[in-house]
Amino acid sequence: MLSSLNSGVAGLKNFQSRLDVIGNNIANSNTIAYKAARANFADTFSQTLQGGSQTGGPLQVGTGVQVSSIKNDYSRGSYQNTGIESNLYINGSDGFFVVKNFDGQELATRAGDFVVDKQGYLVTNDGFRVQGFTDQVATGGAMSTRGDIRIYDDSANRPVQPRVAGAKLAGFNIQMDGRIRMRLDDGTEYESGQVLLQRFDDVNLLEKIGDNLFTNLRDAGPLGGDALTSVVPGSNGTGSLKSGALEMSNVDLAGEFADLITTQRGFQANARIITTSDEVLQEVVNLKR
C-alpha cells in the first residue's frame, strides 16, 4: 500500500483534532477567564530506505503527522466591570484563586465570578468555597488562620463575631491585597478575612475539568509544595485584585478564524492525497487488464 495513503489518513485525523480545538476556543469566546488552547503538530517516525554515507545523508520517507501537544495560552484576558463586590479580577497572568470542593479537594481557577451563599461563605457558582485567611483583625494587622472565607454567619446578615452587639453587615469591599473590609450599619468598619492566590511553576501541567476549574495542582509546582500554601495577592508574582470586575476570555476571534481557514485547507489537502493515492492504486490494479 502506498505510504502516502497512510500519511493522508493521519493528516485527516490530526487536522480534525485541530479543528476540534479551534471550535472549542470559538465556543468559549465569551466564557469568563477561559484560556485558549492550540494544537501543535509533529512528524511521525520516518521510514529509512537507505542509511547515510560519507557522500550523502540517509534516504528517509515520513509516515505522516501527529498531535504533539495541546497547550493553553495563560495570558491575561481583558476585564469587564460588573459593580458586584464579590466579583474579582486578577491583575496579572500568573495568579489563581484556590477553591475547595465538597470533597475537600483544592482546585484552581481564574474565574472570579464569586457570590455569597445563604450561609455567608464566598463561593463559586457551584458552591465551592474560596480559600484564604479567615481572621478578623484591626486595620493593618496580620492574619494567619487559613480556611473558607465567610462574610456573615446567618440570614440575619450579622457579621461573624460582630464587634458591636446587634450591628448588622451593611456592605463589604475586597481590596487589592485581598483583605475584606467590612462595613456595619452603625458605621463600624474592620477587616475580616483575606482572599489568597496561588501560582505554579508549570501551568501547562494543570488539567481542565470544566466549570472554569483546574486540577493536578501539585504536579504543576505550586507555592508551598504539597502544602499548596497560597499567598497574599500582589506577592510572588501573583498579581493584585480588582473588585467588581471579571476577567474575560483571552480568545482572539480573528486569529481563530484565520487558523480555521488554514486548518480547513490542510484537511482538504490531505483528503486530496487519499483520493490521489486511491487513483494510483486503481491504476496498478488495472494493469493486468
8 A C-beta contact, residue 88 and residue 111: no
pLDDT for res 245: 97
Q: Which amino acid is at 130?
A: V
User: Ramachandran region of residue 140, left (φ > 0), alpha (ψ -120 to 50) or beta?
Assistant: left
What pTM did the predictor assign? 0.85
Provide the pLDDT confidence category of residue 188 given band limits of 50, 70 and 90. Answer: confident
Cα 198–Cα 216–Cα 16 angle in degrees, nearest 5: 115
Rounded Cα gap, residues 106 and 143, in angstroms: 21
**pLDDT interval class at 186 (50, 70, 90):** confident
Q: Which of 259, 264, 268, 265 is nearest to 36 (CA)?
A: 259
Q: What is the pLDDT of residue 183?
A: 86
Nearest Cα to 32, choosing from 86, 89, 100?
89
Range list of β-strands (E), 63-105: 65-72, 79-81, 88-91, 96-100
Looking at per-residue pLDDT, the higher value among 245 and 2 belongs to 245
The structural domains of the chain, with segments of one domain joined by +, span 3-32+52-73+251-288, 79-247
**Amino acid at position 54, single letter:** Q
> How far apart are the C-alpha atoms of 46 and 241, rounded to whole Å?
51
> Quick one: pLDDT at residue 121?
94
Q: What is the DSSP letter of 158?
A: P
State whether residue 30 is helix, strand or coil: coil
Joined together, the cell numbers standing for residue 100 give 475547595
pLDDT at 222: 95
What is the tens place of the pLDDT at every residue in 244-254? 999 999 999 99
- pLDDT per residue as tens digits for the range 115-168: 999 888 999 999 999 999 998 876 667 888 999 999 876 544 455 554 556 677
**80 Cβ contact list (under 8 Å, min separation 6):** 245, 246, 248
CB atoms within 10 A of CB 285: 9
Report d(CA 163, CA 177) in Å as an integer: 23
User: Is residue 270 pLDDT above 80, yes or no?
Assistant: yes
3-state DSSP call for residue 279?
helix
- Whether residue 81 has pLDDT greater than 90: yes
